[in-house]
Structure 1
Amino acid sequence: MSQVTVSQLAEVLGVTPDRLITQLNDAGIKVDDPSAAVTNEDKKKLLAYLRTSHGKGETSEDSSGPRKVTLKRKTVSELKVPAGGAGRGPRSRGAAPSRTVNVEVRKKRTYVKRGAIAEQEISDAEREEAARALEEARLAREQAEQAEREEAERRKQEAEEREKAEAEERARMEAEAEERRKEEEKQRALAEAQARVEAKVARQAAEREAERKRRGGGGKERPGAGDSKTRYGREELHVTPKSKRRKPKRKGRVSTQPTEHGFQKPTAPVVRVVDIPETITVGELAKLLAVKAGELIKALMNMGSMVTINQALDQETAILVVEELGHEARAAQAQDIEQELVAADDSDAGEEITRPPVVTVMGHVDHGKTSLLDYIRRAKVAAGEEGGITQHIGAYHVETDNGVVTFLDTPGHAAFTSMRARGAQATDIVILVVAADDGVMPQTKEAIQHARAAGVPLIVAVNKIDKPDADPDRVKSELAAEEVVPEDWGGEEIFVPVSALTGEGIDALLDAVLVQAEVLELKAVPERRCRGVVVESALDKGRGPVATILVQDGTLKRGDMILAGTEYGRVRAMFDENGQPIDEAGPSIPAEVLGLSGVPNAGDDVLAVADERKAREAADQRKQSAREGRLAEKQAAKLQNLFDQMSEGGTGEIQNVNLVIKADVQGSVEALRDALTRLSTDEIKVNVVASGVGGITESDASLAQASGAIIIGFNVRADASARKIIQEADLDLNYYSVIYDAIDDVKKAISGLLGTEVKEQIIGLAEVKDVFRSSKLGAIAGCLVVEGVVKRDNPIRVLRDNVVIFEGELESLRRFKDDVKEVQAGTECGIGVKQYNDVKPNDQIECFERVEVQRTLD
């Protein structure tokens, strides 16, 4: 009979000899030496044991039919909720329109055979805990949704009641005003009629008197002379409104009714309806309201805004002040050139086809996002990143056996929050990469929030499963706490274990992405003009402004005129992510574009237009709007600083740290500006006086010299003229390639400006056991040092019932009859308190020291 040893069998099975010996012993085969022989009978017993331990033993019940049956049910209902809340206050002109939300409820029930239930009486504690957490989260979510629906209904009812009350009040006031107006008109008409009668009588009497005097006082009125005759025989002419003129009774005679003035003083305030643009000056708003500028400025000052007649107001402030003056304001819907471009683009028609999905890879720093894409793309991008982390957002598309997939790689560092948000907004599916040996981290939670806010499905890639300390179950538990529950636990998120190093699970991950894309039914019209978004932008010294554009709809072709944010231009050249020239890019395909007038901001919308003139006008209009918005914000900030200083009594001494930031791409500029600005404190304020894309120029150095700013270059360098100014003015210039190095250095600089502070540290505590009286030394406290150390030259405090009753210094410190400098814990000593003789038993003597430490940022 052929026999093999334990070591040989372990080598064949691919396990260690120690593990095989343990399994043999568990199977009832007593073996303790790797060189011991293993018979065929022993192999059969080991095989039967392993099958039993892994649940693969066959019974008659197993062969009789399936062990469990799962039934799934799905119901869909509709819920109407307000789109933006129920009104914005008492001046709201109507309830906000509601929108319909589809609520889908999925239920799944599993029926298990009684024999299988008997075999699985001991349930998995971790699964029960996850199920319980899921149920609690579901109940909490349903309660929150119910509360939101009730709150929305309550607000809607309140808004309707408020609107009804306001309408009734307006109707009552208008009725009262109409009655007053009619009464005043009636009284005025009566007064005018009486005045006309009196004037006519007086005039006729005066004319008769004048005629008598002319004839010598004794003559009589000439027969046939009417009242309307003047002394020269002409008739009097009276001008009246057309509506009150009467036809003459006979030819050659006109009516003699007195003249009535056509102007009537208004009896109620005039309510004007004013269209408010995005920005408007105080003087222009006063003209629209037909009031004096001083009156409008007074109203704004009463609202807490100190303004001048030429100062620009934002739309919200202008609407508030118009309503404060009793007029009606509404946001102007300007029919500008940009809306014409959008309308012209909407007229394009074509057949919809299925487009590739856009997938964003998100997660914590160093969890393997770029390495995962490297394996998919068969490239080595991660090795070229500074510090081993992604500094830029990248766009790539790959061709798989089942179709094309476009990937967006976002940085994981905390400073790149805006990049992650931009990636989530431009994507169809989010792959959340979580390291199996690290678990859920802060940027992981932030990525989940961005995906939820964008409303896109989530696929979890549990990376680094090839490491020895990998624990995928721990990742599932931590994500379940964030309401990301795997499918095998009853949730909806797909979990795929992968290894970016070995490639394990990559095919399953791509299949999950394509299946999810089929469910989403992604469509686009290739024949229409291009619509897209700027993923990243940079300024290349040899090529000029370069923008990475992700085409979302239509087709971008070389030679097209495009509008990207505040920049425009004709596409002179297009390249793919590998730098190869291309002629066009269809839906969901990224492309690097040359030919823009400037560097657009990352995240700007891109629109292909037919008319270059309209594109230029739209870009100029956007620049003007942005300039006016910055001016309004700047003036508001100055006034806010003035108010802050007035509230502090005018003593607000705040140190300023000015920075000039230049980087290679727009996304890094945003990340640095946001991260460094957040370092500001109540005492030190970080101001970014200028920022931009490209190398450090002479103008940047001159601006830094004028403002006393620190120049930060991120993956860029200063040219010769800028270096000359920097050397002559001895400016502070710092180059960085990793973002958190720049953040740390600025944080250290700010900490140096904060200065030092003195802190007290308790170094020892002694408890008074008894007090002895000495004629020479006074009261001597017999103490036991219970904590730390009591030193002779350090200040002390006397505590009674944990309340400080005296603070001073020691007169003497003795061990037995010897003077000592310090006494350690657990040692008895005698303490004499200088200029204090009221020490009692059970008091505590606290010894402390004052230390000067450097202040740092929290």
Structure 2
Amino acid sequence: MKIRVYELAKDLGLTSKDLIEKLKELDIKVGNHMSTLDEETVEILKELFTGAAEGIEQAKEAQVEEKSEPENQVEDKKEIKRKEDTMEKTDNIDQEVENKSDLPVIKIGESVQVKELAEKLGVQVSDVITKLIGLGVMATLNQEIDYDTASIIAAEYEYAVEGEVSDIENMEELLEQTYNYVDDEADLKSRPPVVTVMGHVDHGKTSLLDAIRNTNVTNKEAGGITQHIGASTVKINNEKIVFLDTPGHEAFTSMRARGAQITDVAILVVAADDGVMPQTVEAINHSKAAGVPIIVAVNKIDKPAANPDKVKQELTEYGLVPEDWGGDTIFVNVSAKTGEGIEDILEMILLVAEVQELKANPNRRAVGTIIEAKLDKGRGAVATVLVQKGTLSVGDAIITGKTYGRVRAMIDDKGKKIKKAGPSTPVEIIGLSEVPESGDRMYMVEDDKKARYLGEKMKGKHRDAKMKEGQKVSLDNLFDTIQDGQVKELNIIVKADVRGTIEAIKQSLLKLSNEEVRVNPIHGGVGAITESDIMLASASNAIVIGFNVRPTNNAMEIASSEEVDVRTYRVIYNAIEDIKAAIDGMLEPEYKEVFQGRAEVREIFKIPGGVAAGIYVQTGKITRASQIRILRDNIVIYEGELSSLRRFKDDVKELAVNYEGGLAIEGFKDMKEGDVVEAFIMEEIKR
């Protein structure tokens, strides 16, 4: 009676892989999990693995050591003879393996979905499920089975199984080798330069870009500070230049670093009246690390206190010596306000780009980098991609990090839909399965099936570890719990309106760790704070931080019942300062936000001097003294105060839940149907 390898492995409490490895150590060769062993060989193997380990070692030692007792020698000879017989018996097995060496091969990872395995074998899913039931495995078409089980099923259909690369670093390396190969020199064509604008906060980087693009981006940013990476294309003398604008605050070091890594020329903006600052030095280091040539734009020369020579002197300490001082760094005096020097700096960019001879192959599969990504309620996952090689077209299958999909639409920096994007072209793409990470590499692959397969493999490697349960932590009691020895690390979940902001906040929070407590950002995501975020925070004893987003109604209720601390901010400085103060035991909040109610805007009316909104109160209440926050797609677009609150034609002090009414907001006219009105008051906290 013969027995298969996988059956013997099960009897011995081993996996098929482990058993095959052990058999190889004993010079017993088998093909795969379905290879058969005869009864005598099985008995010998059982003895070897289950009770005769010491006897085997003694037998091996007996071959090289002299034994005084004749009985031992007899036993040793028997053991050697038995092993020789076993070797002889396996000759037939080796022959079987040779005969089956021409079987077709399928590749799978450590596990595979039943449906996917059936597709690879070219059989019906129901047939595979029937085979699994015969092995005592109950699985549906979407469930995953392990490598050993898949190998057994494959052998039933006369297929051999081969393992795939499972390590994520090797997977990314494999993607680079496969899709980001070096092109032949003959296929390369000129491409536009990609320019990154870098420098210290409030030195005028975005204002300088505004002067170049004739746009006004700064007015849209909270506090006039750029907090997302943007990309735009400018045409100068029939030549294109692609500009990337990176934030200047030190919190966005990682975002700025990504900008330097994908750029050809770095514009270092330094205010003539302020000089070199800490973030200026960081920008220099990032540019040098990326091997990118630097052009210094000395901005704000129109100001009375401007001193360009002082800036030149300070920058020489960091290796940036002006050309007119005998160095090789181009300095240009500019004023974003008056437009002075703008044409000069554009000419310098084209000059540096010409010297670099920037080229790429447009006739190949596209490769690029995710500059920014966000979740849009109407369009789903939206990513800004800088195409670096090849041409990306609508309908192409792509993978980026653990995200995959097909390009359903592409929009350029002017808001126009386009069908193709060549090298050095920034575009917004729609069609990804989820929001990718900023800085992820993007690869165009053969088809949807390949993209999905690679994406799922990468996603599996990024799954978050299970979190331990424990006492809930809030910023208010954090210092006490540290002193009590209850908290050694502070888990934080970060939600924001765009992906790049999440990475920046995480980097800043990690720097707050000290000897007593380690700040640990365990999760980051784009979009509103949801029930799953609250449940993860509850399970992992974490604090939830929302940046420019708000929790949903259900999330707020669950957070209250689970006692999860949820904090929302619009400026990153406040979040960092709060957590730092909590860690140091110096949190002294003077006011606390108290939620009052939510209402939905059902209709918009024009009134003298502005607009009024017809509302329906969904939860809580709205009072005349309430402060108001307007949410659109769960993103805060305005905060202010009520100018009037009415029920029918009467002015009222409050509107309760399930009541309809009308309101007008002081200084805000851009309300739309579907907006959410959130009412709150600031309550003073006495310590």
Query: Do the structures match in fold with TM over 0.5?
Result: yes
Find 2:498's aligned residue among 665, 670, 676.
665
Whole-Å Cα distance in 1 between the matches of residues 509 and 64 of structure 2? 72
Whole-Å Cα distance in 1 between the matches of residues 169 and 493 of structure 2? 37
The amino acid that maps onto 2:572 is: I
Structure 2 match to 1:480: 316
Q: Is the 8 A contact 1:562 1:615 kept in 2?
A: yes
Which has the higher relative contact order, 1 or 2, with Cα contacts under 8 A spaced 6 or more apart? Answer: 2
Whole-Å Cα distance in 1 between the matches of residues 328 and 175 of structure 2? 43
SS in 2 for 1:672: helix
Find 1:371's aligned residue among 191, 200, 207.
207
**1:438 maps onto 2:271 in alignment:** no
Structure 1 residues 538-575: Cα deviation after superposition (integer angstroms, max 9, x where no partner): 11111111110000011111111011111110000111
Whole-Å Cα distance in 2 between the matches of residues 342 and 617 of structure 1? 18
Structure 1 residues 689-718: Cα deviation after superposition (integer angstroms, max 9, x where no partner): 432111111222334455554332111122
Structure 1 match to 2:178: 343
Whole-Å Cα distance in 2 between the matches of residues 346 and 482 of structure 1? 35
Find 2:256's aligned residue among 397, 413, 420.
420
Structure 2 match to 1:530: 366
Structure 2 match to 1:382: 218
Structure 1 residues 423-448: Cα deviation after superposition (integer angstroms, max 9, x where no partner): 00010110100000000000000000
The amino acid that maps onto 1:437 is: D
Structure 1 match to 2:418: 582
Find 1:752's aligned residue among 575, 582, 585.
585
Tell me: CA distance 1:736–1:491, structure 2 relative to 1, closer, same or farther (3 Å).
Answer: same
The amino acid that maps onto 1:554 is: G
Q: CA deviation at 1:725?
A: 2.9
Tell me: CA distance 1:333–1:607, structure 2 relative to 1, closer, same or farther (3 Å).
Answer: closer
Gaps of 5+ in 2: 1-61, 86-108, 111-165, 469-482, 589-687
Whole-Å Cα distance in 2 between the matches of residues 459 and 367 of structure 1? 15
Whole-Å Cα distance in 2 between the matches of residues 555 and 364 of structure 1? 35
Find 1:511's aligned residue among 342, 347, 353.
347
Q: CA deviation at 1:405?
A: 0.3
User: Which aligned pairs between 1:193-212 and structure 2 lie closer than 5 A?
Assistant: none
The amino acid that maps onto 2:506 is: R
Whole-Å Cα distance in 2 between the matches of residues 406 and 546 of structure 1? 20
Whole-Å Cα distance in 1 between the matches of residues 66 and 83 of structure 2? 11
Q: Is the 8 A contact 1:338 1:618 kept in 2?
A: no
Whole-Å Cα distance in 2 between the matches of residues 187 and 748 of structure 1? 72
SS in 2 for 1:375: helix
Q: CA deviation at 1:674?
A: 2.0
**1:407 maps onto 2:243 in alignment:** yes
May I ask how many residue pairs the two structures share in their alignment?
437
The amino acid that maps onto 2:189 is: I
The amino acid that maps onto 1:534 is: I
The amino acid that maps onto 1:409 is: D
User: Which aligned pairs between 1:107-126 and structure 2 lie closer than 5 A?
Assistant: none
SS in 2 for 1:752: coil
Tell me: CA distance 1:521–1:337, structure 2 relative to 1, closer, same or farther (3 Å).
Answer: closer
Tell me: CA distance 1:590–1:190, structure 2 relative to 1, closer, same or farther (3 Å).
Answer: same
TM-score (norm 2): 0.57
The amino acid that maps onto 2:501 is: S
Tell me: CA distance 1:185–1:478, structure 2 relative to 1, closer, same or farther (3 Å).
Answer: same
Q: Is the 8 A contact 1:653 1:683 kept in 2?
A: no
Structure 1 residues 6-45: Cα deviation after superposition (integer angstroms, max 9, x where no partner): xxxxxxxxxxxxxxxxxxxxxxxxxxxxxxxxxxxxxxxx
Tell me: CA distance 1:754–1:743, structure 2 relative to 1, closer, same or farther (3 Å).
Answer: closer
Tell me: CA distance 1:454–1:481, structure 2 relative to 1, closer, same or farther (3 Å).
Answer: same
User: Which aligned pairs between 1:701-712 and structure 2 lie closer than 5 A?
Assistant: 701-707=534-540, 709-712=542-545
Structure 1 match to 2:90: none
Find 1:462's aligned residue among 288, 298, 304.
298
Tell me: CA distance 1:352–1:508, structure 2 relative to 1, closer, same or farther (3 Å).
Answer: same
Whole-Å Cα distance in 2 between the matches of residues 613 and 460 of structure 1? 47
Whole-Å Cα distance in 2 between the matches of residues 261 and 567 of structure 1? 53
Whole-Å Cα distance in 1 between the matches of residues 504 and 373 of structure 2? 14
SS in 2 for 1:607: strand
Structure 2 match to 1:394: 230
Q: Is the 8 A contact 2:168 2:461 kept in 1?
A: no
Q: CA deviation at 1:620?
A: 2.0
Q: Is the 8 A contact 1:695 1:718 kept in 2?
A: yes
Q: CA deviation at 1:736?
A: 1.8
Q: Is the 8 A contact 1:402 1:514 kept in 2?
A: no
Find 2:527's aligned residue among 687, 694, 719.
694
RMSD: 3.9
The amino acid that maps onto 2:529 is: I
Q: Is the 8 A contact 2:180 2:367 kept in 1?
A: no
Tell me: CA distance 1:189–1:477, structure 2 relative to 1, closer, same or farther (3 Å).
Answer: same
Q: Is the 8 A contact 2:543 2:566 kept in 1?
A: yes
Q: CA deviation at 1:667?
A: 0.9
User: Which aligned pairs between 1:715-734 and structure 2 lie closer than 5 A?
Assistant: 715-727=548-560, 731-734=564-567
**Structure 1 stretch displaced more, 729-738 or 601-610:** 729-738
SS in 2 for 1:686: strand
Whole-Å Cα distance in 2 between the matches of residues 486 and 501 of structure 1? 24
Q: CA deviation at 1:521?
A: 0.6
Q: Is the 8 A contact 1:358 1:408 kept in 2?
A: yes
The amino acid that maps onto 1:719 is: T
Q: Is the 8 A contact 2:546 2:568 kept in 1?
A: yes
Q: Is the 8 A contact 2:578 2:587 kept in 1?
A: no
Q: Please say which structure displays the higher CA radius of gyration.
A: 1
Same amino acid, percent of matched pairs: 53
